[in-house]
Amino acid sequence: MGAIIRTEEVWRVYRQGAVEVEALRDVSVTIGQGEFTALVGPSGSGKTTLLNLLGGLDSPDKGRIWLDGTEVSSLGPGDLSRFRLHHIGFVFQAYNLIPVLSAYENTEFILLLQRVPDRERKERCFKLLKEVGLEGMEHRRPFELSGGQQQRVAVARAIAARPRIVLADEPTANLDSKTAASLLDLMRQLNRQEGTTFLFSTHDPLVMKRATRTVRLRDGEILEDVRGVASTEEAAEEEGG
């Protein structure tokens, strides 16, 4: 199993006036192709910061990042945008849906940019929206959907383009347990069938239970890296505490 995500001694420091906050400190981690990995840790541990750096939405202050063999930390804005378009799917905690577009149009947006043919695009989007439980709601705009329904659209959009890597920030945070389980099963199916690599930041024991690997962060550093479904109860306790 080859490495598809790799960071080398990555630091990210935020400056708040005269105060420096070390969000990530000397983080080196390697994720193999096809892994289904959960980033866990208390709020402020650096989970979202690490996802943003991996997705090219932010830049490290020190260190290097490789995705799918490309050193993304050295790419300029144009090359980075093109790389994201064809390699990375995002699920944002705040959904980031386009307000003027329907659920269907949000789901197909990346496919339009990729110039996927009309028939294939429609089949793929309608199928995904049905699988995430939004059949009959395809033409509703975000303001006509609940928070959980918007999250489902965000998940459908992230996987519609069949990216090599999906980065998901708290993807089940606004979902009931039944919907969360069905979405995780859908992502796990894609993971197994397509070899898509998933990296989640999460507080949710459901995600931790399904993960094949758990990377635990605290104060911007990696404390534990466990392969297999491990220490779920301990992780849940830590999140709650």
Reported as a single tens digit per residue, the pLDDT across 127-145 is 999 988 899 999 999 999 9
- pTM higher than 0.85: yes
| pLDDT surpasses 60 at 1 | no
- Would you give the DSSP letter of residue 144? G
Sign, CA torsion 222/226/231/236: positive
The string of pLDDT tens digits covering residues 153-202 is 998 999 898 899 999 999 888 788 888 888 898 889 888 988 899 999 99
For 104, the domain range is 3-240
Q: 3-state secondary structure string, 140-186?
A: CCHHHCCHHHHHHHHHHHHHHCCCCEEEEECCCCCCCHHHHHHHHHH
Q: How far apart, in whole angstroms, are the C-alpha atoms of residue 216 and residue 235?
A: 8
| pLDDT surpasses 60 at 230 | no
| pLDDT surpasses 60 at 239 | no
Of residues 7 and 182, more confidently modeled: 7
Among the listed residues 230, 222, 95, the one whose alpha carbon sits nearest the alpha carbon of residue 158: 95
Number of domains in the chain: 1
Percentage of the chain lying above the pLDDT 70 cut? 94
What pLDDT is recorded for position 238?
43
CATH assignment of the domain containing 30: 3.40.50.300
Q: How far apart, in whole angstroms, are the C-alpha atoms of residue 79 and residue 85?
A: 10
